Structure 1
Amino acid sequence: MRLICLADTHNQHHDIPIPEGDILIHAGDCTDGGTRNETSDFLQWLSGQPHKYKILVPGNHDFYFQKPENLKHIPEDIHLLIDKGVEIEGLQFWGSPFTPGIGNWAFSRERGSDIKKHWDLIPKTTDILITHTPPYGILDQIGSGVNLGCEELGKALQIVQPTYHLFGHIHHSSGKLMRSSSQYFNLSILDERFRIMSSPVVLDL
């Protein structure tokens, strides 16, 4: 089983070479302004990829997915995970788009109990967790060195302990890290100046 994983493409998906694989995973910020036209273009592109399965978790730029009436327009071959799971060939996936912070962003929640309720939903049987935000202290530093990840998500991961945790959001910290029994991947394709600087991550399971 080959997973092709990326995040933070911000409308530049047409310019990114996508390797062959079985499951194509996007961990959020597929658009920049979250408009209907941007989202429609991305969904058409994603649905048209040859991978047998497609998984999408929205990000803080992806406003279109916040409105329930828009979700009926998602192509049937795309698994949109908003506090939701899917089992694919024996693997348990769980996805959640929420990010910590107060502001006019999509899927934002205040730090503490407000965002914790979303992480409490993650099943302990999760093999591959997909969030938009990183946990606090793991591949979550911006250019100034400040950590912006979610503390409550970090606490939840001590209980869930997925084999893989895939996320994006913090462009500056694209990369991978092994900690305890989990592997962490910041899948951000663009850097902080929105230039394509990374490639999709390929995971062979």
Structure 2
Amino acid sequence: MKIVCISDTHNQHDLLKLPSGDVLIHAGDFSMRGHVAETQAFLTWFAAQPHPHKIFIAGNHDFIFEKRPQKARAMVPDGVVYLEDEGVTLDGVKFWGSPITPTFFDWAFNRGPATIGSYWDLIPADTDVLITHGPPFGVLDQVLPEGKHVGCPKLLTTLDHCLRLKLHVFGHIHEGYGQVTEDGRISVNASFLDQEYRPVNRPVVVELQ
């Protein structure tokens, strides 16, 4: 299964040059503030992509999915899968998606340390592909210029129980773009924009065995 990973396009999705693939994943922050017009523009573009399967989650900028969930879900076109602490199985591969990120000021889907673990506890142990907006602690999560790790420690702990996990796709920390493989698990920070919101990064393609 060829999976094309993107994230943090922030209304600049039209600038992407997407490679072909079986599944297109967007790991959140398709907008700047999650307004209806922004959301509609993204969904129209996303649905038009030729990939047989298209999955996305919301990010901390995509307020409409938290503040107006019924309206937002009604906007999702046929052929597009939106995941919010839920899963879908495609061609035998189990995907799980969550928009939750640690509290940072007052953005969408922010949760504090007392409650965030309850969302990670929902992730099934037999998940093959995990999509979260933010990274786990210590994995492609460093911010510039100080290089501080800002990923979620509780998410990192949860991943230890996902023994079948082959791929973890996220974004959120623009400076962390890239991919690493450890113990057979591929982690991808698919942020399209850099920390200055410049569209400099390419989609990340993963061939899932």
Normalised by the size of structure 2, how large is the TM-score? 0.95
Following the alignment from structure 1 to structure 2, what is the Cα–Cα distance between the partners of residues 115 and 151? 10
Deviations 1:127-179 (A, max 9, x none): 00000010001100000211110011000001114111110000001011112
- Does structure 1 residue 73 correspond to structure 2 residue 75? yes
- Does structure 1 residue 120 correspond to structure 2 residue 125? no
- Does structure 1 residue 164 correspond to structure 2 residue 175? no
Deviation at 1:68, TM superposition (A): 2.2
The residue that corresponds to 2:152 in the other structure is: 150
The residue that corresponds to 2:29 in the other structure is: 29
Mapping 1:56-67, distance limit 5 Å? 56-66=56-66, 67=68
Following the alignment from structure 1 to structure 2, what is the Cα–Cα distance between the partners of residues 160 and 200? 25
Deviation at 1:181, TM superposition (A): 3.0
Question: Of residues 181, 194, 197 in structure 1, which corresponds to 2:197?
Answer: 194
Corresponding residue pairs, total? 204
What amino acid does structure 1 have at the position aligned with 2:188?
F
Normalised by the size of structure 1, how large is the TM-score? 0.97
For structure 2, the residue ranges without an aligned partner over 5 or more in a row are none
Deviation at 1:103, TM superposition (A): 2.3
Greater shift after overlay, 149-158 or 65-74?
Answer: 65-74
- Does structure 1 residue 140 correspond to structure 2 residue 141? yes
The residue that corresponds to 2:3 in the other structure is: 3
The residue that corresponds to 1:97 in the other structure is: 99
Deviation at 1:14, TM superposition (A): 0.3
Deviation at 1:10, TM superposition (A): 0.4
**3-state SS of paired residue (1:50):** coil
**3-state SS of paired residue (2:161):** helix
Deviation at 1:198, TM superposition (A): 0.9
Deviation at 1:73, TM superposition (A): 1.8
Following the alignment from structure 2 to structure 1, what is the Cα–Cα distance between the partners of residues 6 and 69? 25
What amino acid does structure 1 have at the position aligned with 2:97?
G
**3-state SS of paired residue (2:28):** coil
- Does structure 1 residue 85 correspond to structure 2 residue 60? no
- Does structure 1 residue 18 correspond to structure 2 residue 18? yes
Following the alignment from structure 1 to structure 2, what is the Cα–Cα distance between the partners of residues 174 and 186? 5
Deviations 1:171-204 (A, max 9, x none): 0010111122311111111100001121001112
After superposition, the CA RMSD in angstroms is 1.0
Deviation at 1:118, TM superposition (A): 0.4
Following the alignment from structure 1 to structure 2, what is the Cα–Cα distance between the partners of residues 96 and 119? 8
Deviations 1:93-128 (A, max 9, x none): 0000000014220100002x3100000000011000
Following the alignment from structure 2 to structure 1, what is the Cα–Cα distance between the partners of residues 69 and 59? 16
For structure 1, the residue ranges without an aligned partner over 5 or more in a row are none
